[in-house]
Chains A and B, each alone.
Chain A
Amino acid sequence: MNRSREFSAAAGTSGTEPASGRRLGGWSVLLGVTLLLSMAASLCLGAVTLSFEELWTALRRDPAGEAVQQVILWDLRLPRTLLAAAVGAGLAIAGTAFQAIFRNALADPYVIGASSGAALGTTLALTLGWSTGFAGLGPLPPAAFLGALAAVSVALLLAETGGGSSVTSLLLAGTALGAMLSAAVSFLLLWRDQPWFQVFNWLLGSFSGRGWSHVAVAWPYFAVSFVVLWFTARPLDALTSGEETARSLGLRVRAVRLLVIGAATLAAGVAVAMSGIIGFVGLIAPHIARLLFGAGHRRLLPASALLGAILLVWADIGARSVLAPVEVPVGIVTAGIGGPFFLFLLKRRGGRLA
């Protein structure tokens, strides 16, 4: 061992700050700018195309501009774009958290039943004709949200009583529960002979008709979830190194796991309540973020959130513009991106996922 090396290192001349800190600053600015540009594009494109000038005029509510453009911009596109960005970020950050908890790069925010629970909640609301809404949003968002939370809670309980607190038993419980809930949804739809397109549209995800009330209701939940998960960055690093390692470092693994699952499910539940089940964003964004930034969660969580927002904003642009004026459910667009992405991973990374 080189004693002189020891001394110089101890003197703190090298490595006193991780070199990656500088890299983070540059990249996060780049991602932030990309998000802003994407949102601007979202405001310009759609059934009615605005030029940058028209966008600027309409944003300032200039009376000289066209009233219809202002209405479309302020009442329809702006809240929709903001919601798409928030939902994309929420799904991405939830996906990142779940992938760390399960140490599985194929985990997504719905892996322990959030989507099946939300689907059942929505289907019950539709077939039983519930009418009580929440904050002017109608009965579907609260039904979906509560369904998601209930399903995850049941999965956690099943895992505890069934196989102990390992993540494998949680995955098993979530999969079993998801299957049962999906069967219940199908049964309900057949039994009541309901218009299937209603549930399908919701199952495939859509931002159609979402307005400021959606944004107003959703943002506090997202904010809480993001803040809590940001603080779990280091514990997540420890968890991805293995449960024994984490415990050896003094981490209360069970408590942290519950906290992370709770915060991630909060984000996923609100996302699903606002816009239906949108797949792949929560799976792809963490992957891309890890490819670019590595696995350290202090960088990964915000990077993943920004990437998820960018991804979903563009998917929504696609959903609105590809077959205008017909609107494609945004979940179809994200699936269209997701499939090729995994093929790409297969080819380039030789099967390695993380």
Chain B
Amino acid sequence: MLRRLAVLAIVWGLPASTATVRAAESWPQVVTDGLGRSVRIERKPLRVVSMTPANTEILFALGAGDRVVGVTSWCTYPEEAKSRPKIGGFAATTIHLEAVVALRPDLVIAGDEAQSLVVGTLAQLGIPVLSVKVRDFAGLYAVIGQVGQLVGEREAAETLVGSLRRRVEAVVARSRLIPPEKRLRVYWEVFDAPVMSAGRTSMVGQLIELAGGINVFADVREEYPQVNTEAVVARNPEVILGADMTQGGALTVEILRARPGWSTIAAVREGRIHTLPADPTSRPGPRLVDGLEKVAAALYPQTAEGAGR
């Protein structure tokens, strides 16, 4: 009797287990990428090349890092990524196509229209390329899902997206608690010469709004407009944020005060100037949520919980 049950269990269990296995790894996979192209993967890719730092971070976060065989020279996170072979820079003009092809990739994950020339050539060579375009958080979740689907890490993708979603919702919930009159006017400086800020369609602009701040240039649709310094002075931001990259001058109170007319800005008078790590606030990858949390912490330190990194 027991032996019959065991046989039945095996007989019933086997197809079920193989079915789960097949469901997790069913090839070929087809998705439509950010440039509207249809991308088809025949089998699980074992050699993946990433052409943007954000995509590298996504791949490693999904646990597919060991299959990443080529990265750009700007792919600095996580640490292991730095040691992978380099295929060039970020811009289409600095990517070495030959290096990419020499790595014999099964899948290439590329950036948006800026790299479309390279994407086109690789596709002609028969290499599957997924072009990724992230405009907002919804787009980020979708991209993580697509990448997960194509590299065969669907579950990891779902888990990752879930946790990111929860963290974002936490920040949004906290920011909803701030009464409208206490919401701070924020000026984000992308660059100092020329003076460049973030408009409402930029990722940084969205981070500010989600964190409960008021982007002083939210009325500008352009992603990174060059703005008139008079406008900054007139709009009188209460907090000034910037990335701590080597680009542009450092964002310190002394330097801002030295700029003609800036000493009257509320943020400069009160010294509410914060520099945030550059990559989490600009790369459209999983760490973007870190960036959101940091922005929220900088704006409203009293309401941010200690859980923020």
Contacts and interface: CB of A to CB of B under 8 A. Distances in A.
Direct contact of A and B (CB under 8 A): yes
Interface of A: 46-48, 67-68, 71-72, 75-77, 79, 136, 138, 140, 190, 193, 195, 197-198, 201, 206, 208-209, 211-212, 320, 324-329
A68 B233 contact: yes
20 contacts: A47-B230, A47-B234, A48-B234, A68-B233, A71-B233, A71-B264, A72-B230, A75-B260, A76-B230, A76-B233, A76-B261, A193-B91, A197-B226, A198-B194, A324-B228, A324-B231, A325-B220, A325-B235, A326-B220, A327-B194
Interface of B: 89-91, 93-94, 191, 193-196, 217, 219-220, 222, 225-231, 233-236, 247, 258-261, 264
Nearest to A69: B234
Nearest to B234: A48
Contact of A211 (B226, B233, B234, B260): B260
A75 B228 contact: no
B260 A327 contact: no
B195 A193 contact: no
Contacts of A79: 260
Contact of B236 (A68, A190, A201): A68
Contact of A71 (B219, B225, B261): B261
Contact of A201 (B89, B222, B226): B226
Contacts of A324: 228, 231
B245 to A, nearest CB: 10
B106 to A, nearest CB: 28
Nearest to B197: A325
A209 B227 contact: no
Contacts of A208: 194-195, 226, 228-229
B219 to A, nearest CB: 8
Contacts of A72: 230, 233-234, 261
A327 B264 contact: no
A42 B235 CA distance: 20
Contact of B226 (A46, A68, A326): A326
Nearest to B220: A326
Nearest to A72: B230
A63 to B, nearest CB: 15
Contact of B94 (A75, A77, A193): A193
A193 B89 contact: yes
Contacts of A195: 191, 247
Contacts, number: 93
A76 B229 contact: yes
Nearest to A136: B258
A290 B303 CA distance: 68
A198 B193 contact: yes
Nearest to A70: B264
A209 B260 contact: yes
A11 B11 CA distance: 133
A47 B231 contact: yes
Given A72-B261, A79-B260, A195-B191, 19 more contacts: A46-B228, A47-B234, A48-B234, A68-B234, A68-B236, A72-B230, A75-B260, A76-B233, A140-B193, A190-B93, A190-B94, A197-B226, A201-B193, A325-B217, A325-B220, A325-B231, A326-B222, A327-B194, A329-B194
A68 B228 contact: no
Nearest to A74: B261
A49 B302 CA distance: 38
A67 B91 CA distance: 45
Contacts of B222: 326
B252 to A, nearest CB: 15
A201 B193 CA distance: 8
Interface centre among B196, B225, B230, B258 (most CB of A within 10 A): B230
B243 to A, nearest CB: 13
Nearest to B90: A193
A86 B82 CA distance: 51
Interface centre among A140, A195, A211, A326 (most CB of B within 10 A): A326
A325 B196 CA distance: 11
A211 B257 CA distance: 13
B194 A206 contact: yes
Contacts of B91: 193
Contacts of B230: 46-48, 72, 76-77, 320
Contacts of B261: 71-72, 75-76, 211
A57 B142 CA distance: 56
A125 to B, nearest CB: 11
A325 B229 CA distance: 9
Nearest to B249: A138
Contacts of B235: 325
A119 B229 CA distance: 24
Contacts of A325: 217, 219-220, 225, 227-228, 231, 235
Interface centre among B191, B219, B220, B231 (most CB of A within 10 A): B231
